Structure 1
Amino acid sequence: MGLGNDRSHHLARDADRRCGLHVLQPGAAALAAGPISPDSAPLHLLATAGMTPDSVRFALTRQAYLDEIERSDPPDEAPRLRTFVWDDTFRAKTYSTLVYDESDEIALPKGAQSAAWQQRLQKSCLENKKECVNLDPGPDEVVGVRKIGEHFYILDNSLPNAFP
Protein backbone atom coordinates (compact mmCIF):
# COMPACT_ATOMS: atom_id res chain seq x y z
CA MET A 1 0.00 0.00 0.00
CA GLY A 2 2.73 2.52 0.90
CA LEU A 3 5.66 3.57 -1.17
CA GLY A 4 9.20 3.36 0.07
CA ASN A 5 10.44 6.63 1.52
CA ASP A 6 12.83 7.21 -1.40
CA ARG A 7 10.16 6.38 -3.99
CA SER A 8 7.62 8.65 -2.32
CA HIS A 9 10.14 11.47 -1.97
CA HIS A 10 11.02 11.17 -5.68
CA LEU A 11 7.31 11.05 -6.60
CA ALA A 12 6.76 14.34 -4.77
CA ARG A 13 9.78 15.99 -6.41
CA ASP A 14 8.83 14.66 -9.86
CA ALA A 15 5.23 15.83 -9.46
CA ASP A 16 6.49 19.27 -8.42
CA ARG A 17 8.81 19.46 -11.43
CA ARG A 18 6.12 18.33 -13.90
CA CYS A 19 3.94 21.15 -12.66
CA GLY A 20 6.69 23.71 -13.04
CA LEU A 21 7.68 23.96 -9.40
CA HIS A 22 11.38 24.08 -8.72
CA VAL A 23 12.49 22.10 -5.70
CA LEU A 24 15.33 23.90 -3.98
CA GLN A 25 17.61 22.73 -1.25
CA PRO A 26 16.78 23.98 2.25
CA GLY A 27 17.84 27.59 2.54
CA ALA A 28 18.12 28.03 -1.22
CA ALA A 29 14.56 29.31 -1.45
CA ALA A 30 15.41 32.21 0.81
CA LEU A 31 18.45 33.04 -1.31
CA ALA A 32 16.52 32.75 -4.57
CA ALA A 33 13.50 34.72 -3.42
CA GLY A 34 15.27 37.34 -1.39
CA PRO A 35 14.00 38.64 1.90
CA ILE A 36 10.24 38.38 2.30
CA SER A 37 8.52 39.54 5.42
CA PRO A 38 5.68 37.35 6.69
CA ASP A 39 3.90 40.62 7.43
CA SER A 40 4.01 41.80 3.80
CA ALA A 41 0.61 42.76 2.40
CA PRO A 42 0.60 40.36 -0.60
CA LEU A 43 1.47 37.34 1.55
CA HIS A 44 -1.12 38.34 4.14
CA LEU A 45 -3.82 38.65 1.43
CA LEU A 46 -2.92 35.26 -0.05
CA ALA A 47 -2.96 33.60 3.36
CA THR A 48 -6.30 35.23 4.19
CA ALA A 49 -7.70 33.80 0.94
CA GLY A 50 -6.43 30.35 1.97
CA MET A 51 -3.60 30.31 -0.56
CA THR A 52 -0.58 28.93 1.23
CA PRO A 53 2.53 27.37 -0.31
CA ASP A 54 1.09 23.95 0.63
CA SER A 55 -2.29 24.65 -0.99
CA VAL A 56 -0.68 25.89 -4.22
CA ARG A 57 1.70 22.93 -4.34
CA PHE A 58 -1.17 20.53 -3.70
CA ALA A 59 -3.34 22.09 -6.40
CA LEU A 60 -0.52 21.63 -8.90
CA THR A 61 0.42 18.07 -7.88
CA ARG A 62 -2.90 16.56 -6.76
CA GLN A 63 -3.47 14.57 -9.95
CA ALA A 64 -0.03 12.93 -9.76
CA TYR A 65 -0.85 11.65 -6.26
CA LEU A 66 -4.29 10.42 -7.38
CA ASP A 67 -2.69 8.63 -10.34
CA GLU A 68 -0.18 6.90 -8.04
CA ILE A 69 -2.97 5.85 -5.66
CA GLU A 70 -4.99 4.39 -8.55
CA ARG A 71 -1.93 2.54 -9.90
CA SER A 72 -0.85 0.96 -6.65
CA ASP A 73 -4.02 0.80 -4.54
CA PRO A 74 -6.98 -0.24 -6.70
CA PRO A 75 -10.35 0.43 -5.08
CA ASP A 76 -11.79 -2.47 -3.13
CA GLU A 77 -14.28 -2.77 -0.31
CA ALA A 78 -12.10 -0.92 2.24
CA PRO A 79 -11.49 2.83 2.06
CA ARG A 80 -7.92 3.47 0.95
CA LEU A 81 -5.33 4.97 3.30
CA ARG A 82 -2.04 6.12 1.81
CA THR A 83 0.87 8.30 2.89
CA PHE A 84 3.48 10.30 0.97
CA VAL A 85 6.47 12.34 2.10
CA TRP A 86 5.40 15.98 1.88
CA ASP A 87 8.24 17.83 3.58
CA ASP A 88 11.08 15.88 5.11
CA THR A 89 13.49 18.78 5.48
CA PHE A 90 12.61 19.11 9.18
CA ARG A 91 11.96 22.81 8.70
CA ALA A 92 11.08 24.58 11.94
CA LYS A 93 11.56 21.27 13.80
CA THR A 94 8.62 19.78 11.88
CA TYR A 95 8.26 17.20 9.17
CA SER A 96 5.08 16.74 7.19
CA THR A 97 3.31 13.79 5.58
CA LEU A 98 0.60 13.96 2.93
CA VAL A 99 -2.15 11.52 3.86
CA TYR A 100 -4.88 10.24 1.55
CA ASP A 101 -7.72 8.83 3.66
CA GLU A 102 -10.93 7.92 1.82
CA SER A 103 -12.73 7.46 5.14
CA ASP A 104 -11.57 10.89 6.42
CA GLU A 105 -11.15 9.32 9.87
CA ILE A 106 -7.70 10.85 10.28
CA ALA A 107 -9.47 14.16 10.89
CA LEU A 108 -11.47 12.79 13.81
CA PRO A 109 -10.30 13.51 17.35
CA LYS A 110 -7.60 11.13 18.54
CA GLY A 111 -9.16 7.85 19.61
CA ALA A 112 -12.39 8.32 17.63
CA GLN A 113 -11.12 6.34 14.62
CA SER A 114 -12.81 3.00 13.97
CA ALA A 115 -11.15 -0.36 14.60
CA ALA A 116 -11.14 -0.94 10.82
CA TRP A 117 -9.27 2.34 10.29
CA GLN A 118 -6.76 1.41 13.00
CA GLN A 119 -6.16 -1.91 11.20
CA ARG A 120 -5.62 -0.13 7.85
CA LEU A 121 -3.13 2.18 9.55
CA GLN A 122 -1.27 -0.75 11.15
CA LYS A 123 -1.11 -2.54 7.79
CA SER A 124 0.19 0.61 6.13
CA CYS A 125 2.84 1.02 8.82
CA LEU A 126 3.97 -2.61 8.48
CA GLU A 127 4.37 -2.14 4.72
CA ASN A 128 6.15 1.18 4.98
CA LYS A 129 7.64 2.07 8.36
CA LYS A 130 9.32 5.27 7.15
CA GLU A 131 5.99 6.87 6.20
CA CYS A 132 3.95 5.55 9.09
CA VAL A 133 1.70 8.20 10.61
CA ASN A 134 1.28 8.29 14.35
CA LEU A 135 -1.61 10.15 15.93
CA ASP A 136 -0.34 9.30 19.42
CA PRO A 137 2.88 11.30 19.71
CA GLY A 138 5.47 10.98 22.41
CA PRO A 139 5.76 13.47 25.27
CA ASP A 140 8.01 15.82 23.28
CA GLU A 141 5.98 15.74 20.05
CA VAL A 142 2.99 17.64 18.74
CA VAL A 143 0.86 16.27 15.90
CA GLY A 144 -1.47 18.40 13.83
CA VAL A 145 -3.76 17.33 10.98
CA ARG A 146 -5.11 19.80 8.44
CA LYS A 147 -7.30 19.15 5.43
CA ILE A 148 -5.78 20.20 2.10
CA GLY A 149 -8.26 18.62 -0.35
CA GLU A 150 -10.95 15.99 -0.72
CA HIS A 151 -9.68 13.01 1.34
CA PHE A 152 -6.19 14.62 1.51
CA TYR A 153 -4.62 15.85 4.73
CA ILE A 154 -1.24 17.12 5.84
CA LEU A 155 -0.03 15.63 9.09
CA ASP A 156 2.58 17.85 10.74
CA ASN A 157 4.76 16.18 13.34
CA SER A 158 6.58 18.79 15.39
CA LEU A 159 9.44 18.08 17.74
CA PRO A 160 9.86 21.43 19.52
CA ASN A 161 12.51 20.11 21.93
CA ALA A 162 14.54 18.23 19.31
CA PHE A 163 17.50 20.57 19.66
CA PRO A 164 18.10 24.16 20.75
Structure 2
Amino acid sequence: MLLVLWLLNIARVRQAEQQAFARAMPGFAARIAQTPRTAGQPRLLDWAWKETGAAIGAQIFETIVYDESDEIGRPPAALSAGWRARASVRLKDIAERIGHRNRNDEVDVRRIDDHFYLVTETIQ
Protein backbone atom coordinates (compact mmCIF):
# COMPACT_ATOMS: atom_id res chain seq x y z
CA MET A 1 0.00 0.00 0.00
CA LEU A 2 2.81 2.42 0.86
CA LEU A 3 4.48 1.65 -2.45
CA VAL A 4 1.29 2.52 -4.33
CA LEU A 5 0.95 5.82 -2.45
CA TRP A 6 4.60 6.62 -3.10
CA LEU A 7 4.20 5.90 -6.83
CA LEU A 8 1.04 8.04 -6.99
CA ASN A 9 2.89 10.90 -5.32
CA ILE A 10 5.73 10.64 -7.84
CA ALA A 11 3.20 10.69 -10.68
CA ARG A 12 1.53 13.83 -9.23
CA VAL A 13 4.88 15.59 -8.85
CA ARG A 14 5.90 14.76 -12.42
CA GLN A 15 2.53 15.92 -13.73
CA ALA A 16 2.89 19.22 -11.85
CA GLU A 17 6.42 19.64 -13.28
CA GLN A 18 5.14 19.00 -16.81
CA GLN A 19 2.33 21.53 -16.35
CA ALA A 20 4.77 24.16 -15.05
CA PHE A 21 7.09 23.51 -18.00
CA ALA A 22 4.16 23.82 -20.45
CA ARG A 23 3.17 27.18 -18.90
CA ALA A 24 6.74 28.46 -19.18
CA MET A 25 7.25 27.20 -22.75
CA PRO A 26 6.08 30.41 -24.53
CA GLY A 27 8.74 32.39 -22.65
CA PHE A 28 11.39 29.79 -23.46
CA ALA A 29 10.41 29.79 -27.14
CA ALA A 30 10.54 33.59 -27.30
CA ARG A 31 14.04 33.71 -25.80
CA ILE A 32 15.25 30.96 -28.14
CA ALA A 33 13.85 32.82 -31.15
CA GLN A 34 15.60 36.04 -30.03
CA THR A 35 18.96 34.31 -29.51
CA PRO A 36 21.08 34.16 -32.66
CA ARG A 37 23.46 31.31 -33.32
CA THR A 38 27.05 32.41 -32.76
CA ALA A 39 29.33 31.43 -35.64
CA GLY A 40 26.77 28.85 -36.75
CA GLN A 41 27.07 26.95 -33.47
CA PRO A 42 24.00 25.30 -31.87
CA ARG A 43 22.29 27.46 -29.27
CA LEU A 44 22.76 26.64 -25.60
CA LEU A 45 20.50 28.47 -23.14
CA ASP A 46 19.52 27.99 -19.51
CA TRP A 47 16.84 29.06 -17.06
CA ALA A 48 17.02 28.74 -13.28
CA TRP A 49 14.08 26.51 -12.37
CA LYS A 50 14.10 25.55 -8.69
CA GLU A 51 16.37 25.76 -5.70
CA THR A 52 15.84 23.89 -2.45
CA GLY A 53 17.91 23.17 0.58
CA ALA A 54 19.09 24.78 3.75
CA ALA A 55 22.29 25.66 5.54
CA ILE A 56 22.40 22.09 6.85
CA GLY A 57 22.18 19.29 4.32
CA ALA A 58 22.18 19.13 0.57
CA GLN A 59 21.27 22.00 -1.70
CA ILE A 60 19.41 21.09 -4.88
CA PHE A 61 19.47 23.33 -7.95
CA GLU A 62 17.30 22.59 -10.97
CA THR A 63 18.04 24.27 -14.28
CA ILE A 64 16.19 24.00 -17.57
CA VAL A 65 18.72 23.77 -20.40
CA TYR A 66 17.98 24.16 -24.09
CA ASP A 67 20.74 22.43 -26.05
CA GLU A 68 20.25 22.35 -29.81
CA SER A 69 23.08 19.84 -30.13
CA ASP A 70 21.58 17.53 -27.47
CA GLU A 71 25.10 16.85 -26.25
CA ILE A 72 24.26 17.61 -22.63
CA GLY A 73 22.45 14.26 -22.56
CA ARG A 74 25.62 12.36 -23.46
CA PRO A 75 28.01 10.75 -20.97
CA PRO A 76 30.76 13.19 -19.88
CA ALA A 77 33.44 11.37 -21.91
CA ALA A 78 31.37 11.77 -25.11
CA LEU A 79 30.99 15.57 -24.89
CA SER A 80 32.72 17.33 -27.79
CA ALA A 81 35.34 20.02 -27.36
CA GLY A 82 32.96 22.46 -29.09
CA TRP A 83 30.18 21.73 -26.60
CA ARG A 84 32.58 22.07 -23.67
CA ALA A 85 33.75 25.45 -25.01
CA ARG A 86 30.16 26.73 -25.38
CA ALA A 87 29.15 25.32 -22.00
CA SER A 88 32.17 26.79 -20.22
CA VAL A 89 30.80 30.24 -21.07
CA ARG A 90 27.05 29.61 -20.90
CA LEU A 91 26.73 26.85 -18.28
CA LYS A 92 29.95 27.31 -16.34
CA ASP A 93 29.00 25.65 -13.04
CA ILE A 94 26.95 22.87 -14.64
CA ALA A 95 29.67 22.08 -17.19
CA GLU A 96 32.32 21.88 -14.47
CA ARG A 97 30.22 19.55 -12.34
CA ILE A 98 29.36 17.27 -15.26
CA GLY A 99 33.03 16.85 -16.12
CA HIS A 100 34.52 16.75 -12.62
CA ARG A 101 32.07 15.26 -10.18
CA ASN A 102 32.86 15.44 -6.51
CA ARG A 103 32.06 12.09 -4.90
CA ASN A 104 29.46 13.76 -2.66
CA ASP A 105 27.87 15.89 -5.38
CA GLU A 106 25.56 14.61 -8.06
CA VAL A 107 24.44 15.93 -11.43
CA ASP A 108 21.46 14.35 -13.15
CA VAL A 109 20.50 15.28 -16.71
CA ARG A 110 17.01 14.26 -17.85
CA ARG A 111 15.51 15.01 -21.27
CA ILE A 112 12.09 16.61 -20.92
CA ASP A 113 11.26 17.71 -24.46
CA ASP A 114 12.84 18.38 -27.85
CA HIS A 115 16.28 19.88 -27.00
CA PHE A 116 15.12 20.67 -23.43
CA TYR A 117 16.75 19.06 -20.41
CA LEU A 118 16.24 19.26 -16.67
CA VAL A 119 19.62 19.40 -14.92
CA THR A 120 19.44 18.62 -11.22
CA GLU A 121 22.53 19.41 -9.18
CA THR A 122 22.72 18.04 -5.64
CA ILE A 123 25.51 19.73 -3.71
CA GLN A 124 26.47 18.20 -0.38
TM-score where L is the length of structure 1 = 0.60
CA distance in 2 between partners of 1:133 and 1:90 (Å)? 18
| 1:119 aligned to which of 85, 90, 95 | 85
Code of the residue aligned with 2:94 in structure 1: it is V
In the TM superposition, structure 1's runs of 4+ consecutive aligned residues that sit over 4 Å from their partners are: none
- Alpha carbons 2:51, 2:59 under 8 Å: kept: no
Code of the residue aligned with 2:63 in structure 1: it is T
CA offset at residue 121 of structure 1? 0.6
Q: Secondary structure at the match of 1:143?
A: strand
CA distance in 1 between partners of 2:52 and 2:10 (Å)? 24
| 2:68 aligned to which of 99, 102, 106 | 102
Q: Secondary structure at the match of 1:133?
A: helix
The number of residue pairs the alignment matches comes to 114
CA offset at residue 124 of structure 1? 1.5
- Alpha carbons 1:96, 1:156 under 8 Å: kept: yes
Q: Identity rate of aligned residues, in percent?
A: 31
Q: What corresponds to 1:14 in structure 2?
A: none
Code of the residue aligned with 2:121 in structure 1: it is N
CA distance in 2 between partners of 1:90 and 1:69 (Å)? 30
Q: Secondary structure at the match of 2:77?
A: coil
Q: What corresponds to 2:94 in structure 1?
A: 133
Code of the residue aligned with 1:62 in structure 2: it is M
Code of the residue aligned with 1:83 in structure 2: it is D
| 2:20 aligned to which of 51, 54, 57 | 57
- Please identify, of 51-60 and 141-150, the stretch whose mean Cα deviation from structure 2 is larger: 51-60
Structure 2: where are the runs of 5+ without partners?
none
CA distance in 2 between partners of 1:68 and 1:79 (Å)? 14
